[in-house]
Structure 1
Amino acid sequence: MQDQRFEKPVRVALGRSRNTIYTVERVAQAADILLNRWPAMTGKKHVAARKACLGVLEGLKETRDARRAFVEAAKEADILVEQDPFR
């Protein structure tokens, strides 16, 4: 299994009130969130992100593909926390 670090972390808001912010820095961390902490409603982008992360962990896909898919899934689920524009 090959866990890889994202070039740039992704922040997502989870929990019932979406008040817990997670900074996702690694593919295995993203996979864990996708599999175990994702909001109840899932969609096509969620499934694609799971496949992309598992592909990286199996050494079949690139880390940037998993990050991109994770970001798209987070947008689809409306849990992506945009980076602070003033930083």
Structure 2
Amino acid sequence: MGTKRFDKPVRIRFGKPGKTFLVTSILEARNCLRSDKWPASSGPKQRFAHESLLAAMAGSATPVQARCAFVDAASEARILAM
């Protein structure tokens, strides 16, 4: 269930400085949110994204909804790469 793909990948600045990472699925997004590489200064949008990703894994939310929440969380954490 968690391998559901996003319709469009999300590019984030993640890991080594200057490197970007393409997040292509619900499971990848969830792993990013749970990683120690995710900025500690994240807030309510990170928590909402985590809930949305879990809901999408369970089938009670769509991958589009989960992707939107993840994009918002990455933006809030200032790691969203355009």
What TM-score do you get using the length of structure 2 for normalisation? Answer: 0.90
Using the TM superposition, give the Cα deviation of residue 15 of structure 1 relative to its aligned residue in structure 2, in angstroms.
Answer: 2.8
Cα separation, 2, equivalents of 1:39 and 1:24: 16
1:49 corresponding residue in structure 2:
49
Question: Superposed, which structure 2 residues align to 1:1-87 within 5 Å?
Answer: 1-15=1-15, 17=17, 19-36=18-35, 37-82=37-82
**What do the CA deviations read for 1:9-32 (whole angstroms, capped 9, x no partner)?**
000001363x22110111100000
Identity of aligned residues (%): 37
Question: What stretches of structure 1 of length at least 5 have no aligned partner?
Answer: 83-87
* Structure 2 alignment gaps of length 5 or more: none
Aligned residue pairs, count: 81
For the residue of structure 1 that corresponds to 2:78, the secondary structure is: coil
RMSD over aligned Cα atoms: 1.3
**Greater than 3 Å deviation, 4+ residue runs:** none
TM-score, length basis structure 1: 0.85
Instruction: Give 1 or 2 for the bigger CA radius of gyration.
Output: 1
- CA deviation string 1:34-82 (max 9, x = no partner): 1113111120000000001111111111000000000001111110001
Give distance in 1, aligned partners of 2:2 and 2:61: 10
Post-superposition shift, 1:2? 4.1
Which residue in the other structure is 1:85 paired with? none
* Alignment-mate amino acid for residue 9 of structure 1: P
